[in-house]
Amino acid sequence: MQIKFYLSLIIAKTVSTILKITKLSGGTSIIGKIVLKICPNFLSYANKYIKTKINVTGTNGKTTTSGLISHLLKENGNSVINNSMGANMIQGVVNAISVELNPFKRYDFSVIESDEAFLEVIYDKFEADYLVVTNLFRDQLDRYGELATTKKFIQNGIDKKADLTLLLNADDPLVASFTGGSRHIFYGVENVVYKDGLEPSKTSIEEAFSCPCGKSLNYEKKFFAQQGHYYCECGYKRPEPQYKADVILYKDYSVLFVNEEEYRVPLIGLFNAYNALAAIALCKELKIPTNVIQRNLNSFKVAFGRSEIKYLNNKKTLIQLIKNPIGANEVLKTVDKNSNILIIINDNYADGRDVSWLWDADFSILSDIEKEVVVSGIRANDMALRLKYAGVSADKIKVISDINESVDYIGKIAESGITILPTYTALLQLNKLKQLKKKL
């Protein structure tokens, strides 16, 4: 009954207000759980209030890509609902929509980051117009298993929506091979140039992907992991992207030339250049004017922990989420080795219980670090052991399992910049700490 829908909205907004006042919880999922108890068909009722529905899924980059799309749409004058805090399972999606939705208003867009395993569940109730797929890497093996399983989760969701427009990363052979929907739009990187002393990592995780014919893929260019220009002797190859980018990476930002139009992006690393390219491509498809995209990319504020800048004891602190080996490798390439580094590893459900990925990530990048590296979290000792085997001197590794204490310590010993690399639940805890300030 629709009365349950309206009742759930009232309760969602009431609980949200209480949580903000009391600061008992960040309120990213708990409201969604309550709403679904009251109105299990909440998403079905919410459909009519949103004109165009966009979902973003994939292993890495969902939060940044969906945040960029949402920001650019809003700056173009559109009304947008977005699960900006990155809670992307069914409860988190319902949480975001129920808190933001006004039943007396129609919204131009929803931009919903969706967990790969929950996309099918969301599409059971929620209509869809566009789906952006960023990449597919090994992630949380205890939840997803191998990549074929993750891909099947997403494909099952796509198969529910015959009219869906897919925006796919052409450089990822798994992503590019999705079928279904009414239209496929591809984006990809043509060339990468490194500036400010940056250079590509000399090591990268190699994933073996086979062509549908069964042979191994060859590469004309490989940017990282399986991302690149691939082909097979049988004729199978990377699809020609409609949106092509030449990327120039600087220490503090990136420049993308997308179909010869220049875009300056205040994000670091090639992984973020891919996120920005996906957002630009979708906004171009939605007819957002080029000058609006160019002007407003620079004012984008990252979600917490995604290349986020805060201040600890008046020292600039860069916080970068790490959660799987390929993502960690790309983040490690951008780490300032002159900063004091804190790595926080948890193994709660939302992080993934399996931390074997630490041994696949290339922490040898830190082997020549001169300053002390602090490790913290539930699996602090595992991280310390990993650093030792990666070549970091044992006398430069300090274990402080308590996250609050580790943050206090790094703030005291740091002479200038600080880098914090947390897993997801560690990031949630960091976000609550008063020591970490948004501005000086």
Which value, in Å, is the radius of gyration of the alpha carbons in the chain?
21
The pLDDT value recorded for residue 144 is 47
The tens digit of pLDDT for each residue in 82-105 reads 998 768 889 999 999 999 999 999
Q: Which residue has the higher pLDDT, 61 or 23?
A: 61
The pLDDT value recorded for residue 224 is 87
Q: What is the mean pLDDT of the chain?
A: 91
Task: Return d(Cα 275, Cα 27) in angstroms, integer.
Answer: 26
CB within 8 Å of 301: residues ≥ 6 apart: 71
Catalytic residue among 142, 354, 368, 402: 354
Residue 142 has pLDDT above 50, yes or no: no
The pLDDT value recorded for residue 363 is 95
Helix pair 62-75, 270-285: axis angle to 10 deg: 40
What value, to the nearest 5°, has the Cα angle with vertex 337 and ends 333 and 343? 80
Cβ atoms of residues 311 and 304 within 8 Å: no
Residue 439 has pLDDT above 50, yes or no: yes
Task: Return d(Cα 410, Cα 313) in angstroms, integer.
Answer: 10
Residue 257 gets the label, from left (phi > 0), alpha (psi -120 to 50) or beta, of beta
Task: Return d(Cα 181, Cα 394) in angstroms, integer.
Answer: 53
The pLDDT value recorded for residue 25 is 67
Q: Which residue has the higher pLDDT, 7 or 24?
A: 7
Mean pLDDT for 295-313 is 85
State the amino acid at position 157 in one-letter form: G
The pLDDT value recorded for residue 187 is 98
* Sign of the C-alpha dihedral computed for residues 127, 129, 132 and 137 taken in this order: positive
Q: Among 8-22, 295-309, 374-388, which range has the highest average pLDDT?
A: 374-388
Task: Return d(Cα 267, Cα 273) in angstroms, integer.
Answer: 7
Residue 140 has pLDDT above 60, yes or no: no
CB within 8 Å of 214: residues ≥ 6 apart: none
> Predicted confidence band at 425 (pLDDT cuts at 50, 70, 90)?
very high
The tens digit of pLDDT for each residue in 183-237 reads 999 999 999 999 988 877 655 555 557 787 888 899 999 998 889 999 999 999 9
Q: Give catalytic status of residue 354 as yes or no.
A: yes
- Roughly how many angstroms between the first and final C-alpha of the chain, as a whole number? 50
The pLDDT value recorded for residue 87 is 80
3-class SS string, the chain: CHHHHHHHHHHHHHHHHHHHHHCCCCCCCHHHHHHHHHCCCHHHHHHHHEEEEEEEECCCCHHHHHHHHHHHHHHCCCCEEECCCCCCCHHHHHHHHHHHCCCCCCEEEEEEECCHHHHHHHHHHCCCCEEEECCCCCCCHHHHCCHHHHHHHHHHHHCCCCCCEEEEECCCHHHHCCCCCCEEEEEEEEEEEECCCCCCCCCCCCCCCECCCCCECEEEEEEECCEEEEECCCCCECCCCCEEEEEEECCCCEEEEECCEEEEECCCCHHHHHHHHHHHHHHHHCCCCHHHHHHHHCCCCCCCCEEEEEEECCEEEEEECCCCHHHHHHHHHCCCCCCEEEEECCCCCCCCCCCHHHHCCCHHHHCCCCCCEEEECCCHHHHHHHHHHCCCCHHHEEECCCHHHHHHHHHHHCCCCEEEEECHHHHHHHCCCCCEECCC
What is the percent of the chain with per-residue pLDDT over 90, rounded to a whole number? 73
What is the percent of the chain with per-residue pLDDT over 70, rounded to a whole number? 94
Residue 300 has pLDDT above 50, yes or no: yes
Residue 175 has pLDDT above 70, yes or no: yes
Q: What is the largest CA-CA distance in the chain?
A: 64
The pLDDT value recorded for residue 27 is 63
Residue 400 has pLDDT above 50, yes or no: yes
The pLDDT value recorded for residue 133 is 98
Task: Return d(Cα 218, Cα 1) in angstroms, integer.
Answer: 56
Task: Return d(Cα 34, Cα 12) in angstroms, integer.
Answer: 8
The tens digit of pLDDT for each residue in 323-358 reads 888 888 888 988 999 999 999 999 998 888 889 999
Q: What are phi and psi of 282, to 5 degrees?
A: -65, -40
Residue 242 has pLDDT above 60, yes or no: yes
Residue 248 has pLDDT above 90, yes or no: yes
C-beta neighbour count of 285 within 10 angstroms: 15
The tens digit of pLDDT for each residue in 42-60 reads 999 999 999 999 999 999 9
Q: Which residue has the higher pLDDT, 301 or 261?
A: 261
Structure tokens that stand for 13 in this block: 């907004």
Cβ atoms of residues 239 and 170 within 8 Å: yes
Structure tokens that stand for 266 in this block: 């205040």
The tens digit of pLDDT for each residue in 263-293 reads 999 998 999 999 999 999 999 999 999 999 9
The pLDDT value recorded for residue 334 is 86
Residue 139 has pLDDT above 70, yes or no: no
> Predicted confidence band at 149 (pLDDT cuts at 50, 70, 90)?
confident
